[in-house]
Amino acid sequence: MASGEQGLWAQLVDSENAIYGAHEGHRAAHAKGTLCAGVFTATPAASKLTRAAHLQGEAIRTHVRFSNAAGDPTKRDGTNDARGMAVKFYLPDGGTTDISATTASVFVARIPEDVLELNTARKPLPETGKPDLDKVGAYLGSHPEAVPAVEEAMLSQAPVSYLQRRYFALHAFKFISADGVENWIRYRWEPDEGEALLKREEAQQKDHDYLRADLEEHLGRGPQGFRLWVEVAEEGDPVDDPTARWPEDRENVELGRLEITELAFDREKDGDVLVFDPTRVTDGIELSNDPILLARPHIYAESVLRRSGVRRDA
């Protein structure tokens, strides 16, 4: 990897720290989260789309991490912020594969350099603690592709529960079936309970860590579920651009159901480093050339090194 690229990954983590602060032992983004255990079972329709091992119908063990998008683990859960749902599938051969998703339905940039430019514009001013709106406005004026994601973020509301939000995986992946048929797809998770949001004043009245308490309460009553769906691209749909939505009439296929069973305490202890990396795919799934997707393992490696001292090769 070129030294310039290595410098870019460090600058991107620095830019997140400049917005949220550097918090020892925590991720640079999605710093506050709760880990759960679960089981995923694919539908018959999944095995027709891809030969991937975890999508053939066998019950697959998973870890699921719900999180708030900010890089500050001390922020209140009631903050209007995106939420994350990352799922690690433990494959029959001993390997793993991951899906990382967020409540944002589109991303804010097409290339990592633009993320750095936007984060620099968003850096809070010392005198106000808020970004310079002129700088942010200038960025949006020169990067109109970022506007849908920013507008969505401005309208975001805190969730009633992590279990009552839809989550989108943002990037496209190529599915390859057992007989070699190829389709580009995008994942999303649909909650069994449907979506529910809080008004701003309701969110402000919630306890500081109400989302974790809600998970404990829900799971104390029994397993909680999500359905995994994919949107299937047609010819001409952009597969390398996470800022672009596909037309609403695209085919949707249900791949399976995730049953979340309990809080998990068996990872991220005794030096274990848990990373959810969407580029960690298995046979039957391939990556696009999306520059944001391909940058993720390098940025994660830099963040992992800083929070754990472990060098993880991307």
Cβ-count burial 111-130 (b if 16+ within 10 Å, e if not): ebebbbbbbebbeeeeeeee
CB 156 within 8 A of CB 80: yes
Phi first, then psi: give them for residue 294, nearest 5 degrees.
-70, -20
What CA–CA distance (Å, rounded) separates 227 from 188? 8
Tell how strand 224-232 and strand 252-263 pair up.
antiparallel
The DSSP letter of residue 159 is B
Please say if 23 is a catalytic residue.
no
Identify the CA nearest to 66 among candidates 261, 212, 220, 257: 212
CA-based end-to-end distance of the chain: 10
Distance CA 83, CA 116 (A): 21
The counts of H helices and E strands in the chain are: 8, 10
* Locus of tokens 């990872």: 267
> Which residues, including other chains, have CB under 8 Å from residue 76's CB and lie 6 or more apart?
206, 208
Name the residue type at position 34: T
3-class state of residue 122 by DSSP:
helix
Token look-up 């009245």 returns 205
User: How far apart, in Å, are the Cα atoms of 96 and each of 184, 226, 251, 282, 308?
Assistant: 21, 20, 28, 8, 21
Q: Are 232 and 250 in contact (CB under 8 A)?
A: yes
Active-site residue (options: 23, 26, 30, 218): 30
Which residues are designated catalytic? 30
